[in-house]
Copies of this chain bind each other. A is one copy, B any other.
């Protein structure tokens, strides 16, 4: 697809560089932006540029934050001895929405992915170890995605944190609440049987 305008071509190329956006979709987005008022598009591009340039990270948990310490880390009602390790801010939002967790977080900023050249030092793993080393942490819950990369990252962190003598746990894997057994994949169903627990424990809420 060669376009009649290098300005348009350039914008389409940039939009198509976003994950999950192909050139056809990028073209649709570019034409939508072209139909808007110039000041609207200026506000659009400015918001993205400012986010990248001025964004700050919580000095405790590495979550995205406008303040030096994020609202969760500042909250005296949260249990600072219980740290939930997640990949990014989306996981923090998802867990907060469950209202089941009263501890604090540690945001890695990704998972170990050798294929993309992302190793432990590209993530906030050293900051996590430092938090644990400073003491006061009873338990670290690994809440990472059930992918190969998530498992690798969990394996690595468990080994590093075990040295520090802290308890490392991981979120339960199993059949979704409300789901049919015959729809589940074999791995998940197998794991849910291996990890079965006393009935009394599972019904108390």
Contact = CB atoms under 8 A, between A and B. Distances in A.
B89 A55 contact: no
Each complex incorporates copies of this chain amounting to 2
A130 interface: no
Interface in A5-21: 5-8, 10-11, 13-15, 17-21
A66 B6 contact: yes
Interface residues of A, number: 60
A33 B4 contact: no
Contact of A52 (B5, B34, B93): B34
Contacts of A44: 14, 17, 48
Interface of A: 1, 3-8, 10-11, 13-15, 17-21, 25, 27-36, 38, 41-56, 58, 63-66, 70-72, 88-90, 92-93, 109-110
